[in-house]
Amino acid sequence: MEGKKIMEYSIVVPAYNEADKISSTIVQILGFMRGMSESFELIISDDGSSDNTVSIVEGLIDENPELKILKNPHKGKGPTVWSGFMFAKGDYIYMADADLSAPITEIKKLIVWAKEQEYDIVIASREGVGAERVSEPFHRHLMGRVFNTLVRFVALPGIQDTQCGFKLFKKECVQDIFPRLHGLKDAKVLKKPYTGAWDVEVLLLAKKLGYRIKSVPVTWVYVKTTRVSPLTDSIKMALEVLQIRFRFLRGKYKTAQLTSISPEEK
């Protein structure tokens, strides 16, 4: 009897009103992944787009069997990533932003640490030796560093960049962590786009569960967007980080097997 087919990689791309770039993103990812792996899937997890993002993706599916689409209500980036990750079948699950501000080729840097060094989660970082930020305005960089200072003080000491939208997870890690994130699963429908601090919640829970996390410097190119309000969203996300910390302190997660680990990044 033929054995069950193994899916090596799942590439999850959360998308909201990406009609201007989604075709190019899909072509780049498919082209690179076909040269790297014989078994992968590309999942476009749509966040209730109001433009023709979904129809563009659907028009490419017949000729690209690796391509799949999830149609979600507009609840923000976190719930959209949650949906894609829960659907993913790959042994390694990689999240990539739709603008590919970190090229898909950077995945190779992360895979080395997951496969050869057996880290459970490998996250792209725009900080540290070897990282490069291209064309980022000073005020955006400054606001990002202020936010990360809060994150390190309140939740994740040792991690210099939790918000870069490129992260690689082992499947068993996703299957353990993401079902616990009921705030993402049960999120309310939004009127405006929102990125959120879901990354902080996932990484904090991963650390508390004893998973090994590695930050890897990458080249990242700033892409201008009008969907994010730097000041308003930063304040909202800062409050969300505090809420996440309080939820942990109050034991709101199903974490009977949580372990006490060093606050230093592994």
Q: What is the pLDDT along the chain (266 residues), one digit of tens a residue?
A: 455 678 999 999 999 999 999 999 999 999 999 999 999 999 999 999 999 999 999 999 999 999 999 999 999 999 999 999 999 999 999 999 999 999 999 999 999 999 999 999 999 999 989 999 999 998 888 888 999 999 999 999 999 999 999 999 999 999 999 998 877 878 999 988 899 999 999 999 999 999 999 999 999 999 887 667 767 888 899 999 999 999 888 887 765 444 433 333 33
Alpha-helix residue ranges (DSSP H) falling in 90-229: 107-115, 138-154, 171-177, 182-185, 198-208
Q: Is residue 33 part of a domain?
A: yes
Q: What is the pLDDT of residue 257?
A: 45
Reference 33, options 41, 24, 25; nearest CA is 41
In a domain, residue 99? The reply is yes
Q: Considering the domain boundaries, does residue 231 fall inside one?
A: no
pLDDT value at residue 4: 64
User: What's the pTM value of the predicted model, to 2 decimals?
Assistant: 0.91
Domain membership of residue 253 (yes or no) is no
Beta strands in 16-91, from DSSP E residues, in sequence order: 40-47, 67-72
Q: How many CA atoms lie within 13 A of 134 on its CB side?
A: 10
Q: Which residue type, as a one-letter code, is found at position 150?
A: L
Q: Is residue 265 part of a domain?
A: no
Domain count along the chain: 1
Question: Quick check: 97 and 104 in contact, CB under 8 A?
Answer: no
Does residue 251 belong to any structural domain of this protein?
Answer: no
**CATH code, domain with 128:** 3.90.550.10
Domain of residue 56: give its range: 9-135+161-224
Closest by Cα among 167, 179, 165 to 213:
167
Residue 91 lies in a domain: yes
The predicted structure's pLDDT at residue 224: 82
What are the φ/ψ torsions at residue 133 (nearest 5 degrees)? -105, 125
Give the burial string for 234-254 (b: 16+ CB within 10 Å, else e): beebbebbeebbeebeeeebe
